[in-house]
A and B are shown apart, each in its own frame.
Chain A
């Protein structure tokens, strides 16, 4: 029995996808329908479905971020990472990126013949996993499948960056607000003094050796303006200055974390960006 989770915020569309799936894949059991990205992650962790249908535009957390977060929090010892199929009404850039990254996607309105093709691919992928599983290599197989998916997602998110690095000149200084000044005073922080940048709500925390500041620019917009050699993204919400990295550790579950010179904090390294530290 193959199980699935549908993440879709529009109830009619979720029901329609479920009905179409019942026709195209009768042995598939839909475990639950999540109405937003964050609860999709929680329910996927709790129910451990084999297949995950993720709408891209959802409240609280979008489908791409939900997939990235799930990849980070997925415990491989309990079973393979779900096969992903994205669902979108209209995202021409995303669709192109899915195609280049060989990630499954379905367009809304969902057509039976197109869904049948996706189902066929998902079934084939499932068959591959159970075959290796019966050969008593389940752990190895699931590990590579999670790692492969994480790397696919990484490339997908990179392809969906608003601008490619190099088109904008690299920033030399960050104009940050001074706490308490209400935006009246702006300090220029040289980029070389930055230890790491962390997305926090609509802001970015700029952490230096002597303290932290707030920048009202979403991290996604800031990223293309940073020198990719100098600044490494290690998590959906964290960018570190490569020179400041002190140690990188791997815990029992295989997750990476790193510490920076000049800061006592440990920062989580996402599975999506873990291959930077593969030598470790």
Chain B
């Protein structure tokens, strides 16, 4: 079912093997200090047989643990260290196999009789356990670190992808050229209004470019950008668009991810108001509810079927733009999740013909809130 489960990354296995080999040589020095009698070479054989068998058992034994119980490895498909008790059991099993099998194997290699094998089995076992735990912990920590680095790299990739998509949706050519067409029309009939529109466009473009770089800005700035965008759209749509923005003064400094609400307002216009002959109205509000900041974008537009769409669909899901539930909402959920984890919530209410309300609840960020 999952071919990745048994995929072995030989370069990293080889590297692990060499590290174990080196570690075993050090252990042999240590055991030679405890039992100087049989000599370093003999100790080296014992140490390596035990060490290599322990390592092989753990290295390949972890492939038997289902991937969902493992930490993520350095590559996206690689199999990391097993989590929780599975990791402990695997380590214990490796040490047991290594000690029992390794001493026997070393005995065979050196041509010993069973009686002559070990000086003090208990001490030898303790040395093996200690060495096994140290080595396992080392590989475990290394693996986790590599996994974390991979996660960070993936998150950075996702974030830049998201920024690019946001930028693309903001600078949608149809919107830009229609705005320019309106500007051209206004220059002739109402130069003062044309200047105001140009200022809004200027602010809108600047903030869009800035938002693709910054990771947060004050809520007041977010509302200013919405005002720019809605003012541009109000010139274009005339009486078909009415809007109101309500931001209580005390919430203006709350930090939010830039252009968090922007795609929602854009969706409300594009999929809610534009398909309707008479347009509609958009209300954007911020409120404090307990220890949460609640942002709401409500439109009186076309709405859509809530929840899972009834009936099946055929073919590629390439209709993100036309269906109205695509980029904006998916993107919003991802952005809220990556910025706030479980403490951020996105709720959508919609009915065909009755408009759409999107509610975002975020933790308030001022610690000393009155």
Contacts and interface: CB of A to CB of B under 8 A. Distances in A.
Contacts of A168: 315
Nearest to B323: A202
B310 interface: yes
Interface in B275-329: 275-277, 279, 308-315, 318-319, 322
Interface in B25-82: none
Given A10-B238, A11-B238, A16 B181 contact: yes
Contacts of B314: 171, 174-175, 215, 217, 221-222, 225
B235 interface: yes
B235 A217 contact: no
Contacts of A12: 182, 185-186, 235-236, 238
B133 to A, nearest CB: 53
A89 B178 contact: yes
B174 A177 contact: no
Interface string A4-33: 000001111101100100000000000000
A224 to B, nearest CB: 8
A109 B275 contact: no
A182 interface: yes
A222 B310 contact: no
Given A10-B236, A12-B238, A19-B188, A176 B182 contact: no
Nearest to A39: B277
3 shortest A-B CB distances, which residue pairs?
A177-B311, A16-B185, A109-B181
Contacts of B322: 218
Interface in A207-232: 214-218, 221-222, 225
A11 B319 CA distance: 29
A177 B313 CA distance: 9
A59 interface: yes
B368 interface: no
Contacts of B189: 15
Interface in A157-205: 162, 168, 171, 174-177, 182-183, 186, 203
Interface in B134-192: 173-174, 176-178, 180-186, 188-189
Interface string B247-278: 00000000000000000000000000011110
Interface residues of B, number: 36
A170 to B, nearest CB: 12
| Chain B facing A: main interface SS | helix
A89 B315 contact: no
21 contacts: A9-B237, A9-B240, A12-B186, A12-B238, A15-B189, A16-B181, A16-B185, A35-B277, A59-B279, A60-B275, A108-B178, A109-B183, A109-B184, A174-B314, A177-B311, A183-B311, A215-B312, A215-B314, A216-B313, A217-B314, A218-B319
Contacts of A35: 240, 277
Nearest to A221: B315
A225 B315 contact: yes
A108 B319 contact: no
B274 A59 contact: yes
Contacts of B310: 177, 182-183, 216
Interface string A62-94: 000000000000000000000000000111000
A215 B222 CA distance: 41
A90 B185 contact: no
A10 B275 CA distance: 13
B195 to A, nearest CB: 15
Contacts of B240: 9, 35
A8 to B, nearest CB: 10
Contacts of B185: 12-13, 15-16, 109
Identify the interface centre among A12, A107, A225: most chain B CB within 10 Å of its CB: A12
Contacts of B186: 12
A203 B311 CA distance: 9
A214 B311 contact: yes
Contacts of B176: 90
A222 B311 CA distance: 15
A33 B188 CA distance: 20
Contact of B181 (A9, A60, A110): A110
Contact of B312 (A39, A107, A109, A176): A176
A59 B184 contact: no
A218 B318 CA distance: 12
B177 A89 contact: yes
A175 B314 CA distance: 7
Nearest to B235: A12
B276 A59 contact: yes
B180 A109 contact: yes
Nearest to A168: B315
A13 B182 contact: yes
A155 interface: no
Given A12-B186, A215-B314, A90 B173 contact: yes
Given A36-B277, A216-B311, A57 B174 contact: yes
A10 B182 contact: yes
Contacts of B235: 12
A153 B82 CA distance: 63
A60 B273 CA distance: 11
Contacts of B180: 108-109
B348 to A, nearest CB: 18
A216 B177 CA distance: 33
A10 B237 contact: yes
Contacts of B275: 59-60
B131 to A, nearest CB: 58
B181 A177 contact: no
A11 B239 CA distance: 9
Contacts of B174: 57, 89-91
Contacts of B182: 10, 12-13
Contacts of B319: 218, 221
